[in-house]
Amino acid sequence: MMEPVLTIVVPCYNEEEVLPETISQLQQLLKELINDTLVSKHSKILFVDDGSKDHTWEIIYKEGLRNEFVRGLKLAGNVGHQNALLAGLFAAKELSDCIISIDADLQDDIQVIREFILKFHEGCEIVYGVRKGRATDTFFKRSTAQGFYKMMKSLGVNLVYNHADFRLMSKRAVQELARFKEVNLFLRGIVPLLGFRSDVVYYDRLERQAGQTKYPLKKMLAFAFDGITSFSISPIRFVLVIGLVSFIMSLVFGGYFLTLKFLGNTETGWTSLITSIWLIGGLQLIAIGLIGEYVGKIYKETKQRPKYIVDIDSFNLPVPRRHLL
């Protein structure tokens, strides 16, 4: 059997501190995989520079000149981890038999890539890397992440628990993924939807090896919220139910206050009246806000903007032109 061509896609945003180490570790691993005839010698590591402001691209570019395993894809601007990852997957898909995505910061144990490949040889088209524990995460990140998974599950979205974007996908799976045209593509929700044969591999998540997290709390919350609203309309239904309940309640209270009025006790109604005004006003604002969220999504989707713009793609350049980079 011919060994499969593997491409490891690594999105990078301001990763100059950790990148040299990442390059050397990944290339070491790739060489071992090639030696063990697990993957083809044409396998590559594709670094996607997501519009970094530091020397990330220079590092990738220089390495690409002297290292046959390293290729670079430079995006014209910062489009975020998910879109940078997609850019890499789609650039690599024609020339690869399978693609593994991994973060640049070496938080994911690269040794399990070998297990990914073994599963691929067994016929799995998608292999999910799943963290055994979250000992290295802060208590806050751990509990919010757990809440997020629970919530998604209750909304009927099938996420692989404790799986981030460390996974293997076959060429076919990536080609199918490319048919999902929505602008806001939430990979962790979409990939299980593809329905191909899949398996999981467990690993220990380590500390970030160098540099700062590129996911501050604000981005994390936005990511979670996007995940929920692009997969489910349950929040809208929930608001509708609350609206109905409060409407019925207001009818009941209205009857009650009218009765009080006929009995001549009008001044006692003030407190409850002002409270319900605030209550209903608040509910309405929540409802409008939520609806606005979905309208905003529709607005974004109807524009059909490209998810990313490629500046330089050394992966798909014909060989003689690669040195021009």
Residues binding ligand UDP (CB under 6 A): 11-13, 15, 50, 78, 80-81, 84, 103-105, 107, 208, 213-215
Q: Which is nearer to Mg ion, 128 or 166 (CB)?
A: 166
- The nearest distance, CB 120 to ligand UDP, in angstroms, is 22
Give the one entry of Mg ion, ligand UDP, none that residue 15 binds, where binding means its C-beta sits below a cut-off of 5 to 8 angstroms depending on kind.
ligand UDP
107 binding Mg ion? (CB under 5 A): yes
| Minimum CB distance to Mg ion, residue 312 (Å) | 25
Tell me if 90 sits within 8 A of 306, measured CB to CB: no
Complex with ligand UDP: residue 5 or 104, whichever CB lies closer = 104
Q: What is the CA angle 98-103-109, rounded to 5? A: 85
- Residue 302: which of 310, 311, 294 has the closest Cα? 294
Cβ-based nearer residue to ligand UDP, 81 or 171: 81
Number of neighbours of residue 64 by Cβ within 10 angstroms: 24
Site for Mg ion in 75-104 (CB under 5 A): 103
Number of residues binding to Mg ion, judged by CB under 5 A: 3
Q: What residues contact residue 217 under an 8 Å CB cut-off, 6+ apart?
A: none
Beta bridge partners of 202: 130
Cite the DSSP H helix spans in the chain.
19-35, 56-66, 81-92, 113-121, 139-154, 171-177, 187-194, 217-229, 234-262, 270-303
Cβ density class 224-244: b for 16+ within 10 Å, e for less: bebbbbbbbeebeeebeeeee
d(CA 248, CA 246): 5
CB of 103 to ligand UDP, least distance (A): 4
How far apart are the two ends of the chain, measured CA to CA in Å?
35
Q: How far is the CB of 107 from Mg ion (least distance, A)?
A: 4
Smallest gap from residue 215 Cβ to ligand UDP (A): 4
Q: Which is nearer to Mg ion, 50 or 103 (CB)?
A: 103
Residue 227 binding target from Mg ion, ligand UDP, none, CB below 5 to 8 Å by type = none
Which residue from 3, 15, 63, 105 is in contact with Mg ion, where contact means CB under 5 A?
A: 105
Provide the mask over 34-73, with x wherever binding to Mg ion is found by CB under 5 A and - wherever it is not: ----------------------------------------
* Residue 16 touches which of ligand UDP, Mg ion, none (Cβ within 5-8 Å per kind): none
Maximum distance among all Cα pairs of the chain, rounded to whole angstroms: 94
Least CB distance to ligand UDP at residue 90 (A): 15
Residues at the interface with Mg ion (CB under 5 A): 103, 105, 107
